[in-house]
Structure 1
Amino acid sequence: MAQTADPARAIAALTPLKILIVAEKEATLTEDVGRSFVTAIQRAFQGGLTEAPDGSEKYYSVGDELGVEVQTLHWVPKKNPNLDSPAPSIAEGARTVADAATAAFDNRVEERLTAERLLASCGHLFVVALLKDAPAAEGKFGQWLDRVATDALRPDHENRIGLLPVALDTQSEDVRLGQFNEFQRLPVSDLGEHALRAGYLGLLVLQRAWSLLTKDADGRMKLFISHAKKDGAAIALAMKAQILSLRWLQPFYDACDILPGAPWRRVLRNGVRDSAIVVLRTDIYEQRPWCVQEIQWAEEFGCPSVVVDLRAASTMPRESLPVAGMVTVTIYDGNLIRILNAALREAMRVRLFRRTIELLEKAGVVDQRKVVTVPRPSISTMGLVFERFLQDPPQNGCDEQGKKRTITPDEVEWVVTPEPFRESLRAPAERLVAAYFKNAKLVNPRDITF
């Protein structure tokens, strides 16, 4: 270990991200447009098993919980001395009242809403501010937004606080709110058609929070479209157009991104490595060697991966692709946004895991050079990650002669997966770890002691 472990920072590291949705008035969060926006953001991070039967949640996320706390907060009209301070409002997605209380909100002590307090229990904070009826700069809400923005712009808080101002009406698009105006405002009309707006906002918050965790506030998530031309070109082009319609995303499409004269094999491999991969699995897909190669690269690099099952056959052959640990989506109704939701949520899941390891190192709990991360609990993924370690081990300073030295397998202390293996697979996984790294323990982040 590079330093003495700090238990408080280590505990915060296990909560790398919190989402806070704020508005001046409670009605903004609970009525009409605001309610749909809050629900879409909650679903983006906390998932859900089904869509609403009335079709109102057609473009929201469906899936497992990502372990990110989403809370709402509003300021209410002054009726007594206490009610001029922020009033906590526990979002429907909050798991328990105790969980909600950990965010250190208190309607009697406004100091607890400072950046220092909010960041004490998490690695990063992302604030979505829903602006309506032109909030006044001198009001409690306007003053709080100014303070949070000021804190977010401090050099020591760089990439720890993210802000997304959403103007729900035209009056709120240009209202002056101090340092809060340093953050680009999003007019609600920019989210497109009314039926799509809540779903698109959920996607945008996922992407902006992902950028915050990658320490690149201007970063656009890249989505690699893996497809077979013979029977997948039409859906691939539609997917590319859908991605391009959202300016915070960037597609990788081989026919456009491999330039004449470029070393195409390297460009393709790097494209997979640096992206979340969307596999358009048509009937021809696995008959194409380069499609199979792309999915194998994704497995080797541990890329966020989503398989879109587009096969028409009623009987499928035995599985030949390493997709056991990948999310699978169907689009029987042509809903491409379902693919984007799955891909961005998977990218967020992988990034949360990797950021947790980074924060644990900052807390002095682990030496990241001696940690091998496996981004999903899959035996095949684990084997590929281990082989890549042997081929390209991490650097570990220089020896006495000034030559660079690398970490040896015997120096590895931890092999970390985001979730534990199923009980039936744990013993084989531990034996595989022991075969490569005899001194390492197989754990997930919450198993690491400090």
Structure 2
Amino acid sequence: MRVSTAPFLAGLAVVSAAVVLPSLPAATWLGMPALSLVSGVTALVMMAMAALLGSRWRWLEDVFGGLDRVYEVHKWLGVWALVLASVHLVFKAGSPAWDVAAILPLPREATRLVRQLSYVALVLIVLLALNRKIPYGQWRWWHKLSGPLFVLVVLHWLSFRSPIALASPAGLWLALCAGLGLAGAAYKLLLYPFVSGHAEYRLVRVEPGVSSVRLELVPVGRGIHFEAGQFAFLRLLHPGLREPHPFTIASSGGSGQPVQFVVRALGDYTQRLVDEVRPGMRAEVYAPFGRFSRPDGGGHEVWVGGGVGLSPFIAWLQDPSRQDLAKVTVFNFQTPGRGFPGVDGIAADARRRGADWVEVADGPRSTVFEERFAWLVGQVGADKVTVSFCGPSGLLAIVRAAMARHGVPASRLRYEKFEFR
């Protein structure tokens, strides 16, 4: 069982309230000061967990079911931390009935300045994380400030006069969460480039498409072992292309085998990559990440790829350990005129191996998909169909609706989050 976003955030809020309220006189529990204090504590805890999740530690993937899920939780932690910090700022977290003291006393002016700066820091972190109009290169460097800015929030907790003693349950809870958050932020900012799993590769083949490109890289020395369907952070060692960017691995093989990526020009960075990438370039590949693997067991598999979301299914088709493709139907959703590089060869190879390849080139609400999916469910039975999806969220909603119309249980859907930022 994997931890999902809503239960995790709710759990943090419940635990925070449960450890804070015993530090207050019971008569003040229902007042606005108590709400402000609980909100402030929960906001700090959520910021700490966001910093921890940003570390990309492997064990977090096991807890949440993949790095794509980790980043979804990371995003909502930031959003709700901002909401709760706003409540904390608006309502005074103090009452004459409280016995208060600062854990780390600072001059009054410094305490007030830290309080204000910590809120501004949180606003900056969340707005920078969610603003898609900021060019990727600038966004990445601004986002690196999240860790140092979190230090301000911790300093606000330590210097603010409150009824929470460091040795109390609430103080220990805050110390634990803040410690984990600071450790995660320090690791990501200072140690990640040196100790994380990565290897150097050389680009040997570039296959251009319309506003897209397919890359093949071979390891220079030791490679990285990965499984079909996982993704990597690719960092080309070329001026202007050095920012690590996540791409699904469109190949299957061991540590000594080539690795392939398909990149579509969807933003400033990917447009530049498509325009400038050339054979012979060196790159660093940070991998593997993700838990998007083929389902085991019987029944018929439906694979739905939208745009570059076809990438993991290409790797599945090539996987030498799984050749049972006769029970697979691949729906390839592509925008007319923006076909996947080399898609004709991929489709021919898939059909040769026994998979049923269905081109869907007339939009997400295509009758081709609806009619073929309905026919397939009628042939094999709704409880015998497993749907694996990778693509835009709008297409995912359409696939879910089709499953519901034809009685395919929602539990039979497996999907990978398509966007990180």
TM-score, normalization by structure 1: 0.23
Compare CA radii of gyration and give the structure with the larger one: 2
Structure number having the greater helix percentage: 2
TM-score, normalization by structure 2: 0.25
